[in-house]
């Protein structure tokens, strides 16, 4: 047994160095290596299934063997690390102990390569076994140690054997220890089977076993024995307990059993790796959980360059488990890897413009989605000359996720995905992946950059090119992925198109009345009406002193409304129209009403009233204005004679 476990740990280390091929990679159905209870499985890819909070979870680790029950247990990875799980927690690496490499686990107890048993105060141990809370150990000296069930940590010595390293495994139960030797011999020591001198008398059950396992039964506990010929037997009752008494019908090519509930209810593993449940002669195949369907969702199918895109992968298993896994280069294939770059937390950074398929491959299944990545900022320096549309090499190909390098001879070496181009200014002869390529027009040298015919993007990358003569820009498309390259005239043309009839206000002069708390009656001239990318506009003014004033953002129609409303702006010079004294103008600008003011002066000062009334007293016409705040102003013969404020 010790040699076998050492070989497993060593094999795990070798596999770790050479690269472990997962079942999904090989597109083969996983096989069950071991079973605990009804729901805990160890698979040959090193992963483990267990239950946590009434949900099945899939622990992807490099686990070599497991022990315990459905509620809790221990596992050992191929590099000798301990994994612990319990009913209230998912599997986790147990770092509470100073772990040397773990040699063996059994139940809730583990044995290190140093011969120490964690969970029991034992040293110099070769093998351990825990069955139904009965614990025993074989020491390096050959001592057979059986723990007192009612006094944990206290051990009785059943006997001592020579050459203990020839023992492959042990199994204990209620005062008994069975030894399986490498030769296939099974020897049993029972605390109740002793001679007149009190010495325990061992007995041999068989000579050709490959696996043994004690199981509780009434009236006599039994040993389930797997023989070299692949048959499975149990020992009998009373005196027949010392021999193989009953063969389990229907079982052949068996190499191992795992007790589920009694000698007639257990799992059996065949030599081909398959498992069956044996239930009183009835055989039921046990299949490992496999992915039935694969669900893939992407946070944004139409991202912009620079965005982070999350790929959610949900595995739907045959055991009704739903497992969400993180995207990685092991399970995700990018058709055009220059467009997406994997980030540390499993998201993808959008690196370039274009369309690419993202394929998730897991458990032999695959799911593909298409991403269309665009650029939300315009590139500059497109040009049209003699009917040919040109675009800049550096910015365009970098926006496509490519690279551009300039050689000592002035040639531009461009690489986009698997396409490699070499271009020279003034030369229609280029190369594509080492093969000659003739361009529709010669590239143009332009201030350290190079302009190439946009048709090159169609010929090499399959892009769609659309020249907008009205706005003088070029739209480069790959399906739904787009980017725009503008000329030096585009901004002015776009602005003019957006402004439409609002250009009529540019150059007009106004005098501020009530607008954005600006100084009243200041003379301003509209210098621009600026559109933004939301379809709104701001009005830019300039005062006589050269100061720039900018309005709030407003809709197209609101520009006309604001400038046409005398509450906001006057279209005439009020100082020239009204020859009022400086003191009156001072009160008007301050929004004050004083006795003797005229109606026009009051209107300029505090605006129009909400209510008006007229009466006559002693031949004098009295007009009263009431405002929304209940302030009241009365006029007699057109001048203010009464002011009531609240």
- Tell me what pLDDT residue 94 has: 52
| Region of residue 38 (left: phi > 0; alpha: psi -120 to 50; beta: else) | alpha
Residues of the chain with pLDDT below 70 are 1-28, 86-100
Question: To the nearest 10°, the Cα dihedral for 583, 586, 592, 596?
Answer: 20
Q: Is the dihedral of CA 193, 197, 198, 203 positive or negative?
A: negative
- Tell me what pLDDT residue 467 has: 96
pTM of the complete model: 0.66
Out of 2.30.30, 2.60.98, 3.40.50, 1.10.3470, select the CATH number for domain 493-575: 2.30.30
φ/ψ of 605, rounded to 5, equals: -80, -50
Cβ atoms of residues 305 and 373 within 8 Å: yes
Q: Cβ neighbours of residue 226 under 8 Å, at least 6 residues apart?
A: 209, 210, 211, 212, 232, 254, 255, 256, 257, 268
Among 574, 557, 388, residue whose Cα is nearest residue 465: 388
Element (H, E) at 558: helix 556-564
Separation CA 575–CA 338 (nearest Å): 67
Residue 254 bridge partners (DSSP): 270
DSSP state of 30: -
Question: Two tokens at 298?
Answer: 């992407």
Residue 549 bridge partners (DSSP): 541
Among 330, 359, 329, residue whose Cα is nearest residue 341: 329
Q: Cβ neighbours of residue 363 under 8 Å, at least 6 residues apart?
A: 23, 24, 290, 291, 294, 315
Cβ atoms of residues 378 and 393 within 8 Å: no
Question: Two tokens at 198?
Answer: 């009190």
Fold of 578-644: Beta-lactamase Inhibitory Protein; Chain:B, domain 1 (3.30.1450)
Element (H, E) at 111: strand 109-112
Separation CA 104–CA 112 (nearest Å): 7
Separation CA 165–CA 139 (nearest Å): 10
**291-373 is classed in which CATH architecture?**
Sandwich (2.60)
C-alpha triplet 229, 234, 183: angle, nearest 5°: 45
Cβ atoms of residues 276 and 268 within 8 Å: yes
User: What is the residue-wise DSSP string for 565-584?
Assistant: -TTTEESS-HHHH----HHH
Among 483, 480, 474, 530, residue whose Cα is nearest residue 502: 530
Cβ atoms of residues 482 and 468 within 8 Å: no
Please tell me the class of the 383-488 domain.
alpha beta
- Tell me what pLDDT residue 473 has: 94
Element (H, E) at 300: none
Is the peptide bond between 107 and the residue preceding it cis, with omega within 30 degrees of 0?
no
Residues, the chain, total? 646
- Tell me what pLDDT residue 3 has: 33
- Tell me what pLDDT residue 78 has: 86
- β-bridge pairing 32-36 and 203-206: unpaired
Residue 160 bridge partners (DSSP): 143
Cβ atoms of residues 484 and 478 within 8 Å: no
Q: Cβ neighbours of residue 610 under 8 Å, at least 6 residues apart?
A: 626, 627, 628
Domain 493-575 identical in fold to domain 578-644: no
**134-288 is classed in which CATH architecture?**
7 Propeller (2.130)
Domain coordinates in residue numbering, the chain = 1-119, 134-288, 291-373, 383-488, 493-575, 578-644
- Tell me what pLDDT residue 12 has: 30
Residue with tokens 């614990």: 135
Cβ atoms of residues 196 and 165 within 8 Å: no
Separation CA 616–CA 635 (nearest Å): 11
Separation CA 66–CA 31 (nearest Å): 15
Burial, 136: exposed, middle or buried (Cβ in 10 Å; 0-12, 13-18, 19+)? Answer: buried
**Cα separation values, 291 from 42, 241, 296, 317, 319, Å:** 16, 45, 13, 4, 9
For the chain, what is the radius of gyration of the CA atoms?
45
Burial, 374: exposed, middle or buried (Cβ in 10 Å; 0-12, 13-18, 19+)? Answer: buried
Expressed in angstroms, the distance from the first to the final Cα of the chain is 102
């Amino acid at each position: 047994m010790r040699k076998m476990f050492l070989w497993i740990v060593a094999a795990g280390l070798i596999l770790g160095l050479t690269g472990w091929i997962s079942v999904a990679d090989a597109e083969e159905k996983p096989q069950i290596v071991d079973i605990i209870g009804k729901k805990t499985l160890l698979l040959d890819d090193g992963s483990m299934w267990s239950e946590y909070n009434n949900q099945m979870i899939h622990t992807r680790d490099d686990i070599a063997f497991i022990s315990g029950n459905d509620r809790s247990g221990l596992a050992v990875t191929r590099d000798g690390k301990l994994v612990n799980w319990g009913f209230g927690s998912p599997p986790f690496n147990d770092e509470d102990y100073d772990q040397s490499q773990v040699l063996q686990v059994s139940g809730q107890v583990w044995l290190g390569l140093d011969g120490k048993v964690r969970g029991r105060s034992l040293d110099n141990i070769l093998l351990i076994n825990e069955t139904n809370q009965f614990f025993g150990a074989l020491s390096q000296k050959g001592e057979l140690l059986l723990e007192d069930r009612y006094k944990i940590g206290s051990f009785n010595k059943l006997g001592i054997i020579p050459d203990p390293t020839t023992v492959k495994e042990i199994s204990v139960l209620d005062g008994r220890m069975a030894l399986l030797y490498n030769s296939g011999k099974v020897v049993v020591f029972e605390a109740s089977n002793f001679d007149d001198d009190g010495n325990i008398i061992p007995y041999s059950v068989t000579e050709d076993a490959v696996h043994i396992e004690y199981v509780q039964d009434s009236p006599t506990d039994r040993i389930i024995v797997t023989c070299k010929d692949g048959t499975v037997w149990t020992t009998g009752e009373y005196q027949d307990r010392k021999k193989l008494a009953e063969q389990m019908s229907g079982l052949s090519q068996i190499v191992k059993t795992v007790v589920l509930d009694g000698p007639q209810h257990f799992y059996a593993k065949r030599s081909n790796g398959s498992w069956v449940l044996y239930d009183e002669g009835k055989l039921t195949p046990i299949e490992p959980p496999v992915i039935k369907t694969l669900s893939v969702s992407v946070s944004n199918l139409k991202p912009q360059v620079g965005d982070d895109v999350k790929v959610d992968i949900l595995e739907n298993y045959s055991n009704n488990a739903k497992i969400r896994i993180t995207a990685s280069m092991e399970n995700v294939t990018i058709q055009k890897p220059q467009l997406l770059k994997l980030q540390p937390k499993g998201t993808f950074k959008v690196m370039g413009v274009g369309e690419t398929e993202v394929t998730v491959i897991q458990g032999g299944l695959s799911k593909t989605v298409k991403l269309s990545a665009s650029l939300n900022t315009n590139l500059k320096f497109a040009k049209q000359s003699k009917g040919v549309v040109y675009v800049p090499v550096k910015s365009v190909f970098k926006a496509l996720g490519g690279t551009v390098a300039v050689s000592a001879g002035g040639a531009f070496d461009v690489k986009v995905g698997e396409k490699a181009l070499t271009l020279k200014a003034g030369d229609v002869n280029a190369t594509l992946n080492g093969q000659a390529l003739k361009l529709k027009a010669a590239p143009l040298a332009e201030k350290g950059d190079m302009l190439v015919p946009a048709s090159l993007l169609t010929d090499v990358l399959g892009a769609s090119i659309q020249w907008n003569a009205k706005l003088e820009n070029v739209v480069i498309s790959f399906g739904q992925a787009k980017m725009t390259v503008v000329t030096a005239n585009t901004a002015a043309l776009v602005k003019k198109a957006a402004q439409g009839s609002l250009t009529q206000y540019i150059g007009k002069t106004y005098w501020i009345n009530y607008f954005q708390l600006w100084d009243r009656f200041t003379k301003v001239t509209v210098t621009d009406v600026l559109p933004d990318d939301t379809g709104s506009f701001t009005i830019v003014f300039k005062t006589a002193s050269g100061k720039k004033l900018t309005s709030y953002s407003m809709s197209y129609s609101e520009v006309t409304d604001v400038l046409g409303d005398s509450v906001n702006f006057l279209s005439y010079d009020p100082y020239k129209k009204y020859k009022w004294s400086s003191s009156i103008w001072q009160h008007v600008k301050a929004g004050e009403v004083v006795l003797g003011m005229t109606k026009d002066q009051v209107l300029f000062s505090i605006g129009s009233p909400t209510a008006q009334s007229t009466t006559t007293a002693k031949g004098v016409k009295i007009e009263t204005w009431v405002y929304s705040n209940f302030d009241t102003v009365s006029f007699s013969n057109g001048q203010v004679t009464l002011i009531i404020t609240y």
